[in-house]
Amino acid sequence: MSHAEAIPAATVVVMRDGGGGLPELLMVERSRAMSFAGGALVFPGGRIDPGDHLFTDTHEDSAARVAAIRETIEEAGLALGLDCDAATLAKIREDLHAGRPFAQLLAEASLALDLDVLVPFARWLPYGLPHRVFDTRFYLARAPEGAAPLVDGSENVRLCWITARGALDAADRGEAMLIYPTRRNLERLALFDGFDAAMAHARRFPVETITPFVESRDGVDWLCIPEGLGYPVTAERMDRAVRA
C-alpha cells in the first residue's frame, strides 16, 4: 500500500491535572465489534472527513485539527477550541451523530474553532497490517475547565481519565488492551508532570511520520521505531506487540 492510499486520521490526547500530581489523560475503550482496534483503549479520534476541509485552509494539518475536535465531540461530548455552553454542545453532538456537517452546525450556532489549542505531538503510519491503514496525526490539548465527558455508547463503550502509567500498568495486568502506537505514546506521555511539560517536549521534536519496522535481534523479531523522536521505548518483541 502506498502513502497515498492510507486513510488520513487524527486523534487528540486530552490532558488534565490529576489529584496525585500526575496528569490524567482522556481515553476511550473501543467496542469489540469495531474492525479496527476493537476492544482497545485509545485516545479520541477518527478519520478526516471531506467536510473537515471546508472551513480551513488547504493544509492537511488544519483539516486534521478540525477532525480531532469533531471526533472528540462525537466520542466524548467534549469541546476543544470551541466556546459554547453545555446545551449548545449537546445539540451539536446530537446533530453530528445524525450525520449533519460540522461546518454547517458551527455556522448555525455562530461559532468558530480555535485550532491553536491543539499542539502537534506525533504522526504514525504503520504498514503491513491485515486491515485498513491509517495515517494518523496526534495532538495534545489541555482539558477545558469543568470538562464532563460522556461516552457515545456506540463506537466506544467506556471512557476514563487515567494517567499514562496507569494505562500501561492496566495493560500489563491484562485489564486493558493497547495497540502498538498507543503504548509507545503512553510511554512518552509518562515522562511528563503536566500539560506544559508535554507541550514543551513536543515542540522540541519536529513531527516526523513514524512507520514501525521489523528488526531481527539474536534471532528474535522486534517491532521498532526510529530513535531520536522523543520516545523512551523504541522496540517491542513482535510476539508481544498488539497491532490492532
Q: CA–CA separation, 218 vs 226, rounded Å?
A: 19
Q: CA–CA separation, 94 vs 67, rounded Å?
A: 16
One CATH from 3.90.79.10, 1.10.3720.10, 3.30.1370.140, 1.10.10.10 for 3-211: 3.90.79.10
pLDDT tens figures, 52-74:
987 666 577 999 999 999 999 99
Largest Cα–Cα distance in the chain?
Answer: 61
C-alpha cell, 113: 474553532
Question: Which is it for strands 235-237 and 220-224: parallel, antiparallel or unpaired?
Answer: antiparallel
**Confidence (pLDDT) at 1:** 43
Query: For the whole model, what pTM was predicted?
Result: 0.92
pLDDT tens figures, 182-226:
999 999 999 999 999 999 999 999 899 999 999 999 999 999 999
Arithmetic mean of pLDDT over the chain: 89
**Confidence (pLDDT) at 2:** 46
Question: Are 105 and 96 a contacting pair, CB within 8 Å?
Answer: yes
Taking phi over 0 as left and psi of -120 to 50 as alpha, with beta for the rest, 123 belongs to beta
**Confidence (pLDDT) at 53:** 86
**Confidence (pLDDT) at 4:** 53
Q: What string of pLDDT tens digits covers the 244 residues of the chain?
A: 445 588 999 999 999 998 778 999 999 987 655 555 557 899 999 999 988 987 666 577 999 999 999 999 999 999 999 999 999 999 999 999 999 999 999 999 999 999 999 999 999 998 766 567 899 999 999 999 887 888 876 677 788 999 999 999 999 999 989 999 999 999 999 999 999 999 999 999 989 999 999 999 999 999 999 999 999 999 999 999 887 6
Sheet containing strand 213-217, edge to edge, reads 213-217, 220-224, 235-237
